[in-house]
Structure 1
Amino acid sequence: MKDGKKTGEATFYNPIMKSGADPWVVRKDGYYYYMHTVGNAIQLWKSNSLTDLAAAETATVWQPSGGGPASSDIWAPELHWIQGKWYIYFAADDGSNETHRMYVLQSETDDALGAYKEMGQITDPTDKWAIDGTVLTKKDGSLYFVWSGWEGDENVTQKLYIAPMSNPYTISGNRVEISKPELAWETIGQPTVNEGPEVLVSDKKINIVYSASGSWTDDYTLGLLSADPDSNLLDPASWKKHPEPAFAKTDDVFGPGHASFVKSPDGKEDWIVYHAAKTAGAGWDRNVRIQPFQWNDDGTPNFGKPVSTRTALALPSGENGRVRLEAEEAKLEGLLVKDREDASGGKTVGSDKDGARSATFNIEVEKDGLYTLALRYLNEGAVVEQLTVTVNGKLKVDVSLDAGFNGEWSNDYIPVPLKKGSNEVKFSGGDSWLSLDAIDVLPPQTKP
């Protein structure tokens, strides 16, 4: 490929979303449906590829019509296919955190990106503060709602609760506490926190993976509860809390938490989808990452350690490869090639001087369409970098690259229209703090 080297088609780098928190992914009929917290609405992405979610079709499927109890601070939406319909569970308040409660939407069609009707609040008889609701379905079809809440009316600690459901939008019994922050790794930050419960079932165990310690700290982590499949899930004694974190920070991954789980396109692999702080001390400034995981012999998950953004991962099994163009093989102006071990080709391009700088790639595609360019970069400065992407000398796209990663790589996902055949794509701008590694060319979404 002219002015670009086609390499690494079977790998990708995290993050898969440059910003985002509370990621949720579910797969049905060959598509991945993805959500994360956007705060003022519920947005849904639809993709046939797990690593290309940033390039997916998207729609705002619900937003509040005005003031009211569910008009603000819309957190952690989840999409579930239950009893032949789509349901969306989310937390919201009236502008005051103390009023956070859980709400349900029900689909009016089979299209997950279609219309929804409001089914109202879902609550147990106590009607206390509640967030991060999810649904657990046993093999016999019985439904349970699991969430994070307060015991009383003050923010002292967040505990995990479970309650039976009579249908997908109604809790039919009293809540039962199944976890509270009590271990050293669960109690970092005040108030203490157990939240983000997510169900992960194997043949041998019903697992609930949850987030512990303050989400604003580097020590936000995942814990694990497990129960036998035939046990009484409403009996707290049925749930075993594992004494060590299931997924915790490393020397270069901070605050990994609020995960969801999904299969690879061919169904052969299990993947964890989670958010992490962009760098140490970033708090709620987070991005979304994925990696495969394994299973222990007892039916509990083995997530291993969070993988650094410096590490290339194999694409999910069954996912189409991608074209990677190394920046050092582009036509360069005012940029120098530098050796760097954690770059995809062992090299990056950057500049130590002021002045005009650009990298021009020649991208060949087989058909007209809207493609996405995944730009891997390192911005070691304290300010946002501004680039201009010029396509075939005409269309100009302005791009803002996040700042302050302290040596952590990131990806920006840039949609560009390309025509069949050869296309000249020029990246220009930036300053001496910015290094470019490569671009991955993500094809237009197709039907599975």
Structure 2
Amino acid sequence: MAESYVNPVYPHTMADPFVLKHDGQYYAYGTAPVGADGRAFPVLRSADLVHWEPLGHALVPPGGSDFWAPEVAARDGVFYMYYSAHGIDGNDHQLRVASSEHPAGPFLDTGAVLVPDQPFSIDAHPFRDTDGQWYLYYCVDFLELEDDHRVGTGIVVDRLVDMCTLAGEPRVVVRPHEDWHLFLKGRAMYGAVYDWHTVEGPAVQCHDGRYYCFYSGGAWERANYGVSYVVADHPLGPFRRPAQGGRALLMSTRPGRLIGPGHNSFAPSPDGSETWIVYHAWQPDMAGRRMCIDRLDWQGDRPSTAGPTWTEQPVPSGTAR
């Protein structure tokens, strides 16, 4: 096996990549066009995070026409896929849950709509705390001007009563608040026109007893897209911004190399000694968002990474050579 890799690690469209490790294997799910079999979300398998084998598509759609950002949680032998679908019963994107007995699927929709009171909800991220309690981080739209918050898409968190039901008590994690969070100026939304800002793609890591909610901000198809984070002492918050904010603190565009890195998940190395950030980025031809990986490091209470990288990098620790 090779001792190095080069991003991207998969040559086809694999946006919003989420990686689940199960029984020593990695399974990756992502946003991409519906497959020839009519299923949504490509699913890949790997033993090392570097070499990926396509297994087809994971979700049997319950209807609708557009499917985004799948993430999968395992509990009691069942795999639950959280995703958003557009066009079911005439609705915009709504968060739904599908289940399977195998991580590769097929996943069948349970009929559960997680936040039916919201006109738009995307980017669900299930997180299990050390005490076994599950939480769901997800994105909704905010139209109110409050403090230094901007109008646009932001992240909230709620407790999962069971794997298909939320407590219905969402708390704000982070709303857009920086110039680099701009999605589009003069965007027509909800019967008005706004300078729309976006933070999305939550992914939580616990470090030294604190909860870091990483998010992607900006416009997913532009160079301002990048990854930053907020921090809390409990999964429900309150979350606070790092003092050195004002820019994408973890990853941002490398002009001419990798553009708009973001919407990440995290996965352990094969031997469990490292944490790796899995994300998508555009190459200069802008032909599609490709899956990339880089190691996550910590400098005290500050996360860091060399990514997005485009040159040879050491493979994850524990990879067979």
TM-score, normalised relative to structure 2: 0.84
**Which of 272, 288, 292 is matched with 1:289 structurally?**
292
* Aligned mates of 2:288, 2:2 — CA distance in 1: 30
Unaligned runs of 5+ in 2: 35-39, 144-150, 186-195
1:203 aligns to what? 208
1:261 aligns to what? 266
Q: Which amino acid aligns with 1:279?
A: P
Q: Is the Cα–Cα contact under 8 Å of residues 163 and 234 in structure 1 kept in the other structure?
A: yes
Q: Which amino acid aligns with 2:276?
A: W
User: Per the alignment, in what secondary structure is the counterpart of residue 36 of structure 1?
Assistant: strand
- Displacement of 1:98 after TM fit? 6.1
Structure 1, residues 235-284: CA drift from partner, whole Å, max 9, x if none? 5xx2012314221122333211101111111112221111111117x3x7
Q: How does 1:379-418 map to 2 (within 5 A)?
A: none
- Displacement of 1:302 after TM fit? 1.6
**Which of 172, 176, 179 is matched with 1:181 structurally?**
176
* Aligned mates of 1:125, 1:21 — CA distance in 2: 25
Q: How does 1:4-403 map to 2 (within 5 A)?
A: 9-18=2-11, 19-40=13-34, 41-53=40-52, 56-64=53-61, 68=63, 71-94=64-87, 99-107=92-100, 109=101, 111-124=102-115, 126-151=117-142, 157-187=152-182, 189-190=184-185, 191-228=196-233, 231=234, 233-235=235-237, 238-242=238-242, 243=245, 244-245=247-248, 246-251=250-255, 252-279=257-284, 282=286, 285-298=288-301, 300-307=302-309, 309=310, 311-321=311-321
* Aligned mates of 2:279, 2:211 — CA distance in 1: 20
Q: Is the Cα–Cα contact under 8 Å of residues 95 and 115 in structure 2 kept in the other structure?
A: no
* TM-aligned CA distance change 1:46 to 1:253, over 3 Å: closer
User: Per the alignment, in what secondary structure is the counterpart of residue 15 of structure 2?
Assistant: coil
Q: Is the Cα–Cα contact under 8 Å of residues 42 and 63 in structure 1 kept in the other structure?
A: no
- Displacement of 1:121 after TM fit? 3.2
* Aligned mates of 2:9, 2:165 — CA distance in 1: 35
* Aligned mates of 1:182, 1:275 — CA distance in 2: 23
RMSD between aligned residues: 2.4
* Aligned mates of 1:166, 1:184 — CA distance in 2: 36
Unaligned runs of 5+ in 1: 1-7, 322-448
2:192 aligns to what? none
User: Per the alignment, in what secondary structure is the counterpart of residue 184 of structure 2?
Assistant: coil
* Aligned mates of 1:87, 1:96 — CA distance in 2: 22
User: Per the alignment, in what secondary structure is the counterpart of residue 81 of structure 1?
Assistant: strand
User: Per the alignment, in what secondary structure is the counterpart of residue 214 of structure 1?
Assistant: coil
* Aligned mates of 2:199, 2:266 — CA distance in 1: 19
Q: Which amino acid aligns with 1:38?
A: A
* Aligned mates of 1:39, 1:75 — CA distance in 2: 10
Q: Is the Cα–Cα contact under 8 Å of residues 91 and 119 in structure 2 kept in the other structure?
A: no
Q: Which amino acid aligns with 1:46?
A: R
Larger-Rg structure:
1
Q: Is the Cα–Cα contact under 8 Å of residues 27 and 104 in structure 2 kept in the other structure?
A: no
Q: Which amino acid aligns with 2:139?
A: S
Q: Is the Cα–Cα contact under 8 Å of residues 16 and 52 in structure 1 kept in the other structure?
A: yes
- Displacement of 1:27 after TM fit? 1.0
* TM-aligned CA distance change 1:140 to 1:26, over 3 Å: same
* Aligned mates of 2:232, 2:92 — CA distance in 1: 32
* Aligned mates of 2:275, 2:14 — CA distance in 1: 21
Higher strand share: 2
Q: Which amino acid aligns with 1:170?
A: T
Q: Is the Cα–Cα contact under 8 Å of residues 124 and 174 in structure 1 kept in the other structure?
A: no
